[in-house]
Amino acid sequence: MNRIDAAFLRLRGLKRKAFIPYLAAGVPGTAETVELVLELEKLGADIVELGYPFSDPMADGVVNQAAANRALESGVDSETYFAMVEKIRARSQVPLVAFSYLNPLFKLGFDAFVRRAKAAGMDGLLLVDMPVEESGDLQEICRREDFSLIFLVAPTTTPERLDKVLKAGTGFIYYISRTGITGEQDSFQKDFESKVSALKAASDLPVVVGFGISTPDHVRTVCGLTDGVVVGSALVRRTLEKKPFADILDDIRSLAAPLIAPTKETWN
């Protein structure tokens, strides 16, 4: 069984929700990325999204854009990225999702990327700008490799497109909590609860929520409606600070522990 599927099966049995952190691979460094993933797993992360750097991350806010640029400036390429994955996998079985855009994968070739990612120990792929209508070839590759292909659903997704996503997606459905780009926010859009509840009712796959989640109250709200939560910018911002890595780790622990806590409560 794919590690992502196994993680959600385990969480359902425990009546808990998934905590899914996003990290920019290679920030603040390659060895540090490995340690951050392992530390977040110790704190209670259930799945980790590992950002593959791209020079034009159009869905990302200033924090994640800065992290992608930092990674590229540091020389993070496909071999560096997969080497980090291999080092994580040598020490952990936490499910890993490659988070990226079409261009870098198109350059490498979809088949080559998925094969290499699977061999390194990854479990799934989320391409922010992959239209479900144009994903047929990639779906076939991922099915063949038992590699989850995760799609985004937005507040503006039409019923027709949602139906296609629900049929094509595997692993989980990622619901964007708002229109726009990533980044910490104070509150959800006014129709958030009704829209995410409707998606959860329609989906046979687990549904998780991301974009802007940054407080324990946000996490608790999401846990009451879905199967898990993604936290990205709030964590990535700490990895960009010019501090000794030990201090960055302390900051990550202080931030992540209260965010993870609600996911470990018992949920019906």
Out of 5, 49, 123, 227, pick the active-site residue: 49
User: Alpha-carbon distance 148 to 234, whole Å?
Assistant: 26
Looking at the chain, how many residues does it have? 268
Active site residue 77: no
Is residue 55 within 8 Å of 101, Cβ to Cβ? Answer: no
Out of 5, 46, 60, 227, pick the active-site residue: 60
User: Alpha-carbon distance 54 to 52, whole Å?
Assistant: 7
Is residue 240 within 8 Å of 70, Cβ to Cβ? Answer: yes
Q: How far apart are the first and last CA of the chain?
A: 25
Active site residue 134: no
Q: Could you give the residue numbers annotated as active site?
A: 49, 60
